[in-house]
């Protein structure tokens, strides 16, 4: 089966004058898992529903593969969809639920039986074919929902917060299974909407971050995490320390910035840096340094709070009126609040964000 990508071109969705999706341009490559993340009301679900055909764009076009599907009804779009509350048909047994799409396409009985069995095996639910949905746990219901979506061999799979209704342990397991499923079906293009950045980082090849109906950032998971293009992306995807610094000079991949009297070096993934910029430091990339050794990129800060979280220590620091938080493996001898400590970081682990964006 040929893989099909998804393309949004200038897609705007407005309900009664309120813009839910604002001029979205986004391409999902064939066989890719793209996660759309953002806070509630950011437009991520609207984008997914526009691909499914449940909302009609006010402007713009949507493409699946080479087909412009903007004006096609949902049943003609060849999509598989999995939603938060599973939406299994309660009066049908598991096997009938999985067969639903094939029956709607008038597939011959032999094909239906074979495909239903294959899909249930794929999600590990073959022993439950004769059960009713109400006899299954949440995680099992979601597996059936995934099997039902895959049974029609859809061109794209749309996942709308598929793990949000599950508890933490099952969610972790399901994440692993979704990743395995995609390894088994490498041609399947997946659009994954979630508010959970961990799910996005674990599963997605690329991540699109949205806010207020607009696309704020879009790139590979690694790139967005290591070099966020703006403040919102940095803060939404993982935790970040954003220190206000002054740009002095860019030299190839690195930039020199000044924080008070201290000159620091960090990655400069974006050109046109000038004046006030932000230094993005992930909490686990900062290390407490012995005062005797002073490597490059060292800052002196006052400890304001120390928390022990079992497998790690979280230390809050204050320097020149700014807050800096670091996490480390458990410290044998944590500094007391009020102590002045030296911390340092590697230039490769820090990046500069143009100030004022996002």
Cα atoms found within 13 Å of the Cα of residue 277, Cβ hemisphere only: 30
Residue 278 in contact with residue 353, Cβ under 8 Å?
yes
Our CB check for other proteins shows the closer of 156 and 207 to be 156
Candidates 26-34, 108-116, 128-136, 195-203; binding stretch for other proteins (CB under 8 A): 128-136
Candidates 101-109, 169-177, 276-284, 304-312; binding stretch for other proteins (CB under 8 A): 101-109
83 binds other proteins (CB under 8 A): yes
254 binds other proteins (CB under 8 A): no
The Cα–Cα gap between 190 and 184 comes to: 13
148 binds other proteins (CB under 8 A): yes
CB-based burial, 245-270: b 16+ in 10 Å, e otherwise: bebeebeeebbbbebeeeebbbbbbb
152 binds other proteins (CB under 8 A): yes
Choice from 7, 80, 139, 162 touching other proteins (CB under 8 A): 80
Count other C-beta atoms under 10 Å from residue 53's C-beta: 18
Choice from 74, 260, 295, 337 touching other proteins (CB under 8 A): 74
Choice from 71, 104, 176, 220 touching other proteins (CB under 8 A): 104
15 binds other proteins (CB under 8 A): no
Least distance CB 242 / other proteins (angstroms)? 38
Our CB check for other proteins shows the closer of 52 and 315 to be 52
φ, ψ dihedrals at 251, nearest 5°: -135, 95
87 binds other proteins (CB under 8 A): yes
β-strand partners of 328? 313
137 binds other proteins (CB under 8 A): no
Q: Which pair of tokens denotes residue 8?
A: 């949004």
75 binds other proteins (CB under 8 A): yes
The Cα–Cα gap between 358 and 196 comes to: 20
Q: What is the 3-state secondary structure (H, E, C) of 234-274?
A: HHHCCCCEEEEEEEEEEECCEEEEEECCEEEEEECCCCCCC
149 binds other proteins (CB under 8 A): yes
Sheet with 6-15, edge to edge strand ranges? 18-28, 6-15, 59-64, 67-68
Give the binding-site size for other proteins (rule: CB under 8 A).
Answer: 33
- List residues binding other proteins (CB under 8 A): 52-54, 73-81, 83-85, 87-92, 100-101, 104-105, 132, 134-135, 145, 148-149, 152, 158
């Amino acid at each position: 089966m040929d893989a099909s990508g998804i393309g949004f071109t200038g897609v705007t969705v407005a309900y009664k004058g309120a813009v839910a999706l604002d001029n979205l341009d986004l391409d999902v490559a064939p066989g890719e898992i793209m996660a759309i993340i953002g806070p509630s009301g950011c437009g991520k679900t609207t984008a997914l529903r526009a691909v499914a055909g449940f909302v009609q764009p006010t402007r713009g076009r949507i493409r699946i593969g080479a087909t412009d599907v903007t004006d096609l009804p949902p049943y003609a779009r060849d999509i598989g969809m999995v939603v938060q509350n599973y939406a299994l048909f309660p009066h049908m047994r598991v096997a009938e639920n999985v067969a639903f799409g094939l029956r709607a396409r008038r597939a011959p009985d032999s094909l239906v039986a074979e495909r239903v069995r294959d899909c249930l095996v794929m999600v590990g639910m073959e022993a439950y074919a004769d059960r009713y949905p109400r006899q299954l746990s949440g995680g099992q219901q979601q597996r059936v929902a995934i099997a039902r979506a895959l049974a029609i061999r859809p061109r794209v799979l749309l996942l709308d917060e598929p793990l949000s209704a599950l508890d933490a342990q099952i969610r972790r397991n399901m994440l692993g299974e979704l990743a395995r499923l995609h390894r088994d079906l490498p041609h399947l293009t997946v659009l994954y909407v979630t508010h959970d950045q961990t799910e996005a980082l674990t599963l997605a090849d690329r991540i699109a971050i949205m806010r207020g109906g607009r696309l704020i950032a879009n790139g590979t998971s690694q790139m967005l995490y290591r070099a966020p293009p703006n403040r919102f992306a940095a803060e939404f995807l993982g935790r970040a320390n954003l220190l206000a610094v002054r740009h002095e000079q860019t030299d190839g991949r690195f930039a020199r910035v000044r924080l008070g009297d201290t000159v620091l070096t960090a990655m400069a993934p974006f050109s046109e840096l000038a004046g006030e910029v932000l230094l993005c430091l992930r909490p686990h990339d900062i290390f407490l340094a012995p005062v005797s050794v002073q490597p490059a990129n060292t800052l002196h800060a006052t400890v304001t709070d120390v928390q022990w979280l079992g497998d790690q220590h979280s230390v809050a620091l204050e320097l020149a009126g700014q807050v800096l938080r670091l996490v480390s493996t458990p410290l044998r001898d944590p500094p007391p609040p009020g102590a002045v400590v030296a911390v340092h970081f590697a230039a490769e682990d820090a990046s500069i964000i143009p100030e004022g964006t996002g």
